[in-house]
A and B are shown apart, each in its own frame.
Chain A
């Protein structure tokens, strides 16, 4: 069965600083990987996804993630944090011929002025 581990339940950065949110996955077959963002009192919104094309994936709001098979990682980055990036971020994995997503526990990003 597949699984996702997000390192750090809470990350705090200053406005303008680099954002790095870590995600490692476990899967016996090539995975599809996703990052979702959840703003307070809202549902989840897709940031970006890796579906076996380019390993560097660009998403909305300036975020990107790189799939590294050797490290089983799919870390999310943004060069310069903005106050509006404050939210909870979820990494998710899907494998095989089904539509099930397995989510990590989430990382709460705080952006300080």
Chain B
């Protein structure tokens, strides 16, 4: 298996522009997570999906952020409009349903490094 795939790996944009980050989870994994990593705040869970349905979006910082999962093999995280404080590494992770809540390994993608100028 190719693992979790994220694109782009690097994104540089100007303040006010729309940014779309993409994620392809591991085939057969029922849960998908979006995280943000910064020096100041560490790793934060933004939102997660089960069977393409958003379960908990309490970590989404504000209305400028939105996430979708139109099918089992694709998810997007969109920031519109982007701001310099959104600069971070954004990770996508997926996990199967096999072990039950809390026990399953989350498999992380390589991340997208976003820089907003």
Q: What is A's interface to B at a CB cutoff of 8 Å?
A: 32, 34, 36, 41-46, 49, 51, 90, 94-106
Contacts and interface: CB of A to CB of B under 8 A. Distances in A.
A49 B105 contact: yes
Contact of B99 (A44, A51, A106): A51
Nearest to A43: B108
A98 B101 contact: yes
Nearest to A53: B103
Contacts of B108: 36, 43-45
Nearest to B113: A41
Contacts of A51: 99, 102-103
A105 B102 contact: no
Contact of B42 (A45, A99, A105): A105
B52 interface: no
A49 B103 contact: yes
Given A43-B4, A103-B42, A97 B101 contact: yes
Contact of B102 (A32, A44, A46): A32
Nearest to A6: B42
19 contacts: A34-B105, A42-B110, A43-B108, A44-B93, A44-B106, A44-B108, A45-B108, A90-B43, A94-B102, A95-B102, A99-B33, A100-B48, A101-B45, A101-B106, A102-B45, A103-B43, A104-B42, A105-B42, A106-B42
